[in-house]
Amino acid sequence: MNIHEKYIKRCIELAQNGFGTTYPNPMVGSVIVYEDKIIGEGWHKKAGGPHAEVNAIRSVKDKSLLEKATIYVSLEPCSHFGKTPPCCDLIIEHKIPNVIVGTVDPNEKVAGNGIKKIIASGANVVVGILEKECNELNKRFFTFHQQKRPYIILKWAESQDGFLSPEKEDNQDRKPVWITNQYSRQLVHKWRSEEQAILVGTKTVIDDNPKLNVRDWSGNNPIRVVLDQNNRISKDSFIFDNCVKTIIFTKSETSISAENTTFEVIDFKENIIPQILGILHQNQIQSIIIEGGLQTLQSFIDQNIWDEARIFVGKLLFGNGTKAPILQKKNVTKTYILNDELINVRNHD
Ligand code: AOF
Ligand code: ZN
């Protein structure tokens, strides 16, 4: 690891302090170095608050050192007047001669302009240090700005032999068979709290009547997104409990009215996925976890529109039933449920 990488790594660590509080802004960290010593550090804590560079510059006691120092930032300094003034101007004002940037800001309002402005001022600029790691840090923000859709996480639980549910006999009441245990349920609630939205299809709501909120973890509830093509979901379902903002995609107007719930009429004869993702993007949703059912998951898989999959594998053997989707090895994490522990196995791209 070279010296630039060492300090950008520190920027990433600092940025991570903002996990969960910076939305819709990215997590960003910055350090200021003079004679191979860190003289200032900062990170972005909250949307609307000072950016990482501002906090780092403020933390430097002897401001006269800035004219001889190097500033490291995990994301390009901004160039626009948003909720705060441009960080590139602040860097230029303080005459910081060396600026090292992890990765370029994908936000159209910045997109290279911060870097250009700093270069034009005469400072030395290096761009692209630990770029992959810096992009990964803000994978939701990058996907949202570059692909104009939320970052998509697929999630399901399967039996040891790869079934979502066992075969049911015709006259048997449909009782859910739990593949997961209390620890994995808690983990699911943590995951829900980390994303802006959660999506399920009609059948999941009808069969399971899920609340789709965060109960076994302390954190925010994601916005609920439900596909209900033929308005089949009962108005007594938990998703109409008004507790959480809910978006329902339907084919036609519905008579149900619920506070906190909006109905989006889309054309189900067309490919619905781009329509849904476009509306979620308009709603500023940067990430979504898709929790089933099979048809909903499969349609995202068939079109290869997903970024990450998280699969629980239980101990039970079902023998037959509804087969779980098969994925190419691309950013898939399998969590094996043993007695009282969870074991993660991750396949990267
Ligand atoms: C941050 N923190 O440390 C950096 C950001 O509305 P504003 O003024 O807060 O601007 C938000 C945008 O600024 C954000 O989308 C990103 O493009 C850029 N850089 N943002 O929140 C930071 N460096
Ligand atoms: Zn800024």
Residue pair 184/155 in contact by the 8 Å Cβ criterion: no
Has domain 3-141 been given CATH number 3.40.140.10? yes
Please give the pLDDT value at position 171.
Answer: 44
Ligand 1 centroid to 78 CA: how many Å? Answer: 6
Per residue in 2-54, pLDDT tens?
A: 999 999 999 999 999 999 999 999 999 999 999 999 999 999 999 999 999 99
Which DSSP category does 11 fall into? H
Q: How much distance in Å is there from the Cα of 340 to the middle of ligand 1?
A: 42
User: How many angstroms from the chain centroid is the CA of residue 129?
Assistant: 23
Give residues (CB < 6 A) around ligand 1: 22, 25-26, 28, 44, 47, 51-52, 75, 78, 82-84, 87, 105, 107, 110
Which residues are within 8 A (CB) of 271 and not within 5 positions of it... i.e. 6 or more apart? 303
Contact (Cβ atoms closer than 8 angstroms) between residue 305 and residue 151: no
Residue 310's beta-bridge partner residues? 155, 333
DSSP-based three-state secondary structure for 102: strand
Domain positions in the chain are 3-141, 149-346
pLDDT tens across the length of the chain (349 residues)? 799 999 999 999 999 999 999 999 999 999 999 999 999 999 999 999 999 999 999 999 999 999 999 999 999 999 999 888 999 999 999 999 999 999 999 999 999 999 999 999 999 999 999 999 999 999 999 999 999 999 999 999 999 999 998 887 654 555 666 777 888 889 999 999 999 999 999 999 998 899 999 999 999 999 999 999 988 998 999 999 999 999 999 998 877 888 899 999 999 999 999 999 999 999 999 999 999 889 999 999 999 999 999 999 998 899 999 999 999 868 999 999 887 667 777 765 4
pTM of the model: 0.92
Pick the CATH number of 149-346 from 3.40.50.720, 3.30.420.40, 3.90.550.10, 3.40.430.10: 3.40.430.10
Proportion of the chain in helix, strand, coil states, percent, rounded to 5: 30, 25, 45
- pLDDT tens digits, one per residue of 160-204: 999 998 887 654 555 666 777 888 889 999 999 999 999 999 999
Distance between CA atoms of residues 137 and 131, nearest Å: 10
| 25 CA closest ligand 1 atom index | 21
DSSP 273: H
Q: CA–CA separation, 98 vs 100, rounded Å? A: 7
**Which residue, judged by its Cα, is nearest atom 21 of ligand 1?**
25
Q: What residue type is assigned to position 285 of the chain?
A: I
Q: Tell me how far the alpha carbon of residue 73 lies from the centroid of ligand 1, in angstroms.
A: 12
**Rama region for 79: left / alpha / beta (φ>0; ψ in -120 to 50; rest):** alpha
